Amino acid sequence: MDAVIRCWPALPQARIAPEIYGHFSEHVGRCIYEGIWVGNSRGIPNQNGIRLDVLAALKHLRVPGIRWPGGCFADDYHWKDGIGPPKSRSQTVNLWWRQVEPNTFGTDEFLHFCEALGTTPYICANVGTGSPREARDWVEYCNFSGDSSLAELRAGNGHKRPYSVKHWGVGNENWGCGGNFTGREYAKEYIRFATYMRAMSPDIELYACGASFGDYRNPIQNDWNREFCNELRRHDMVDHITLHRYFSRGSARGFSESEYYALFADVLALERDLELTDAVLREYFPDRFVGIAVDEWGAWHPEAVTENGLEQPGTLRDALLAATVLHVFNRWAHRVSMANLAQTVNVLQCLMVTERSRMFLTPTYHIFDMMRPHGGAQLLMLQTEGPTYEAHAVGIKNKKPVPLLDVTASMSGKKIHLTVVNKSLTESIEAHIDIREETVAAVSGKLLHAEDPRTVNSFKTPSRIAARRIRPTFNEEEPSHTFPPNSFTALTFTLK
Ligand code: AHR
């Protein structure tokens, strides 16, 4: 099978926000406790309670940001439960995930974790069961530089300097677990919260809960953004609006060929989510940029249920899905300001799995590693011609053609980063690569591939799926590369 990939280095598009390569860690199952935080448990090497293996693996990715503490957990979380001497912290009920919350990992632990990682924190405040006062106090505790009692409390808890947390979510899924509001009701709440949070710390960026269109027939979701934006259009109070999208076809490892292809077709539904959200933002904020933050996304297979702490195996299929979704965010660089994969360790489409002192990386981890150069680079105009298949995306009526080769290209300095998913289960695809009006001096590459898309890593075989270097042969007269079936390839071209 043949394809053509053309890109135009002379026509750079928007800058790809590094923040779209971000992550999400909620108090659910073993994500925070055991996955990130081991406290003073002996036998698991840690730095002030943060496990070292996870820290090192995340450092290697240069994770741009982490969202915390939820998720549904956020709208029933009261931050004062999680500060001060660990022994005095109360045991509360984690309502949504049916666990007892020890509160030993709270604001200071999260922000120390971010500092150790060199990443940007993104905190989601509680609207559902909280108050504007509680949220504005949280901002004060984190960011106030004067001599207030809350700033002194922070100093007493070991951090004299303000943490200067810039990114604040105003609730999570407030059309559902975050309080079951209508768009109009939420807008009123949002304005109250935002007024006081922003007055406390004028430089913060606020993230409003947006619609998530799992089902396009759901009237609450369809009206939500319109109702919210209509109320907010007179206020300069919203910097980003959020969107969530989870993917599922068959089970994690038990899926048919048609379910394999359907999962990738569902990425069209994410594109549709973005189009719908974008249209409302253009209509209500024609003169102002409001970003779309896809602050929860990933595969959510039927294996992951509350009873097992939302755990599921992570396959090569999931990794290819992640690459395809990240490609969408790259293409939407002009609007997508942040994205966060759910959820960093042990939960849903995680990057790594832990068990006591052991840890292995999932195939999805390698996608983030291989795609890292796109973050902060300039998206390039690109055209791909090649084989397609027809499929129904979830919630979309008509079948649509889905390209088997999914590609994005970006540029930083003299380097072009081209990443390619070949979704075909059986066919290699040879693509002619045309880098318009430029001469290539060198090419290097990495490949993530296995025969079977169900392949996983495990404690026994932790590197069964790992990126390996390839040496692309690149003939200047007729440059081409063959992409194996069921694979992800990252090529770097250095221009003369
Ligand atoms: O990531 C798991 C849950 O999915 C989050 O708590 C919630 O926001 C979403 O519905």
SS (HEC) of 206-272: EEECCCCCCCCCCHHHHHHHHHHHHHHCCCCCCCEEEEEEEECCCCCCCCCHHHHHHHHHCHHHHHH
Residue that finishes a domain, picked among 313, 346, 376: 376
Among 349, 338, 360, 326, smallest CA distance to 490 is for 326
pLDDT tens per residue, range 366-393: 999 999 999 999 999 999 999 999 998 8
Q: Could you tell me the CATH number of the domain that includes residue 255?
A: 3.20.20.80
Q: Could you tell me the CATH number of the domain that includes residue 395?
A: 2.60.40.1180
Name the domain count of the chain.
2
CA 66 – ligand 1 centroid, Å: 15
For residue 229, pLDDT beyond 90: yes
In DSSP terms, 121 is beta-bridged to 66
Q: Work out the average pLDDT over 102-116.
A: 98
For residue 218, pLDDT beyond 80: no
Q: Which of 173, 189, 231, 311 is catalytic?
A: 173
Q: Which residue has the tokens 């999400």?
A: 24
- pLDDT at position 475 is 75
Among 469, 269, 325, smallest CA distance to 21 is for 325
383 and 371 assigned to the same domain: no
Atom number in ligand 1 closest to CA 73:
6
Q: Work out the average pLDDT over 144-162.
A: 97
Residue that finishes a domain, picked among 376, 396, 429: 376
296 noted as active-site residue: yes
Among 129, 139, 143, smallest CA distance to 169 is for 139
154 and 240 assigned to the same domain: yes
Helix axes 316-331, 257-265, angle to 10 degrees: 20
435 and 290 assigned to the same domain: no
357 and 423 assigned to the same domain: no
Q: Work out the average pLDDT over 387-411.
A: 91
pLDDT tens per residue, range 411-425: 999 999 999 999 999
CA 202 – ligand 1 centroid, Å: 29
Question: How many Cβ atoms sit within 10 Å of the Cβ of residue 49?
Answer: 18
CA 280 – ligand 1 centroid, Å: 24
Atom number in ligand 1 closest to CA 348:
1
Atom number in ligand 1 closest to CA 343:
1
In DSSP terms, 99 is beta-bridged to 94
Among 476, 394, 487, smallest CA distance to 443 is for 476
189 noted as active-site residue: no
Residue that finishes a domain, picked among 332, 355, 376: 376
Residue nearest to atom 4 of ligand 1 (CA): 71
CA 75 – ligand 1 centroid, Å: 11
Q: Work out the average pLDDT over 254-263.
A: 95
Question: Which domain covers residue 152, as residue numbers?
Answer: 17-376
For residue 217, pLDDT beyond 70: no
Tokens of 240: 């980003």
Atom number in ligand 1 closest to CA 342:
1
Write phi, then psi, for 316 (nearest 5 degrees).
-65, -35
User: What are the pocket residues of ligand 1 if the criterion is a CB atom closer than 6 Å to any ligand atom?
Assistant: 26, 70-72, 172-173, 296, 342-343, 348
CA 261 – ligand 1 centroid, Å: 25
Residue nearest to atom 9 of ligand 1 (CA): 71
